[in-house]
Amino acid sequence: METRMTPDTVNRPRTVEQVVQGTATSDGAGVKLTRVLMPHLQQRLDPFLMLDVFRSDEPGDYLAGFPDHPHRGFETVTYMLAGRMRHRDSAGHEGLLQNGDVQWMNAGRGIVHSEMPEQEDGLMEGFQLWINLPARHKMDAPGYRDIPHAAIPAYTAPEGAVVRVIAGQSNGVKGAVHRETTEPVYLDIQLPARSAFVTAIPSSHNAFVYVYRGALQVGGRLVESGRMAVLDSDAQADGVRLVAVEEPAGAILVAGKPLREPIVQYGPFVMNSREEIYQALADFREGHFS
Ligand code: CO
């Protein structure tokens, strides 16, 4: 869906506070992935709780998939660049996620789901982002949306960057998803070599850029592929400026308004207190997750 853009004015782009290299890990039934946003950054990047990146053309790295497992208290956003993954959950939703599709799941008070590859070879590449829910919405009914590639608004910026607006808005283009309270912005940006791109971002938001192809100058600092740049929170900063270096580059830009509430995580449950975690475990054991 190509949409007309109206350029944002950015006078003071954010700088990079730190560059983070992910940690190789495995999850589900043994899927190899890189955890880029780790628990020690949850306060700093509030409302974002986790970012996992998976990229492999070795079937042994992904075939085991993520069999049935629970979640409570936050949203999961899965963005597939390549590959096919089947989602099924206890609320009766089912969907196939592939090349450029997004799945936005609100775990709310509890959901049990599986995410299983539907391919036996070839490249599997994508991201899973966890976004916290405000305390008052953690026990809401679960929700689920499949957003096919063609339904994600896209535009071409003046120097040629192709931008897909998954959530929030950028250069006047409204994204596929709007969420109150955390007001997330989620952009996929593909830049031609040596091109620049700017977008406004509210100064209230915490923000990061993860580079998945090539290399980018972010606020004047070089960020290589496979690295996350945590952007400075500066009340005067009004946006983000990215410049591709010698080759075409790709990145996701994620920003959101912090909740400033206590974060207590136990595996797939993220609540505000230990008591609420014990309750989640008890509810799950007793089969109360839908
Ligand atoms: Co899950």
pLDDT given at position 119: 86
C-alpha of residue 29 to centroid of ligand 1, in Å: 12
C-alpha of residue 228 to centroid of ligand 1, in Å: 22
Domain spans of the chain?
Answer: 16-285
pLDDT given at position 120: 85
Residue for token pair 């974060």 = 263
Give domain 16-285's CATH superfamily.
Jelly Rolls (2.60.120.10)
C-alpha of residue 231 to centroid of ligand 1, in Å: 27
Contacts of 74 (CB under 8 A, 6+ apart): 49, 107, 130, 131, 132, 133, 138, 270
From the CB of residue 268, how many other CB atoms can be counted at a distance below 10 Å? 20
Q: 7 falls in which pLDDT band (50, 70, 90)?
A: very high
Task: With a cut of 80, say whether residue 287 has pLDDT above it.
Answer: yes
Contact present, 80 and 97 (Cβ < 8 Å): yes
248-280 per-position pLDDT tens digit: 999 999 999 999 999 999 999 999 999 999 999
C-alpha of residue 246 to centroid of ligand 1, in Å: 37
From the CB of residue 22, how many other CB atoms can be counted at a distance below 10 Å? 18
C-alpha of residue 76 to centroid of ligand 1, in Å: 7
Task: With a cut of 80, say whether residue 290 has pLDDT above it.
Answer: no
Whether the full predicted model's pTM is greater than 0.75, yes or no, is: yes
C-alpha of residue 69 to centroid of ligand 1, in Å: 6
Percent of the chain with pLDDT over 90: 94
